[in-house]
Structure 1
Amino acid sequence: MSRAARGPRIVFWRHGQTSWNLENRFQGSTDIELTDQGVFQARRSAALLSGLHPDLLISSDLKRAARTAAELAKITGLDVQHHEGLRETYAGEWQGLTNSEIQERFPEQYQAWAKGEPVRRGGGELSTEVADRSVPVVLEAVDKLPEDGTVVVVSHGGTIRTMIGRLLDLEPAQWERFGGLSNCCWSVLGLGARGWRLLEHNAGTLPQPVIGDET
Structure 2
Amino acid sequence: MSDQYDITPRVIIARHGQTDWARVGRFTGTTDIELTQKGIGQISTAAATLVGAGKLLDPRRLTHIYVSPRTRAVETFKLLLPQYSDFVPGKVTFTEDIAEWDYGNYEGLKDMEIRNLRKMRGLDGEREWNIWTDGCEDGESSQQVTERLDKLILQIKEIQKPYMRGEKPADVLVVAHGLILRAFAKRWINWSIDRDLPMEIQPGGIAVLSYKDNDTNKPTLNLGLALP
Normalising by structure 2, we get a TM-score of 0.76
Map 1:178-197 to 2 at 5 A: 178-192=198-212, 193=215, 195-197=218-220
Q: How big is the alpha-carbon RMSD for the aligned residues of Structure 1 and Structure 2? A: 2.5
Deviations 1:10-57 (A, max 9, x none): 011111000001121111121111111111111111231332314132
Q: Call closer, same or farther: CA 1:180–1:128 in 2, change over 3 Å.
A: farther
Residue in 1 that maps onto 2:190 = 169
Among 44, 49, 58, the residue aligned to 1:53:
58
Which range moved further: 150-159 or 124-133? 124-133
- Secondary structure of the structure 1 residue equivalent to 2:8: coil
Structure (1 or 2) with the greater strand fraction: 1
Say whether residues 1:17 and 2:34 are aligned partners.
no
Q: Is the CA contact 2:77–2:85 (under 8 Å) kept in the aligned structure 1?
A: no
Match of 2:77 among 69, 92, 99: 69
Once the 2 structures are TM-superposed, how far is the Cα of residue 142 of structure 1 from its aligned partner? 4.6
Q: Displacement of 1:71 after TM fit?
A: 1.2
Which is worse superposed, 16-25 or 176-185? 176-185
The correspondence of residues 1-215 of structure 1 with structure 2, limited to 5 A, is 4-47=5-48, 48-50=50-52, 51=55, 52-54=57-59, 55=62, 56-74=64-82, 79=88, 80-107=92-119, 108=123, 111-113=128-130, 118-145=133-160, 147-174=168-195, 176-192=196-212, 193=215, 195-200=218-223
Do 1:9 and 1:148's aligned partners in 2 also have CA atoms closer than 8 Å?
A: no
* Superposed CA offset, 1:143-187 (max 9, x none): 33553421110011111111111110113332x423121001122
Check conservation: 1:53, 1:76, Cα contact below 8 A. Answer: no
User: Mind listing any 5+ residue stretches in structure 1 that lack a counterpart?
Assistant: 202-215
Q: State how far apart, in whole Å, the 2-side matches of 1:151 and 1:102 are.
A: 35
Structure 1 position 5, deviation (Å): 2.4
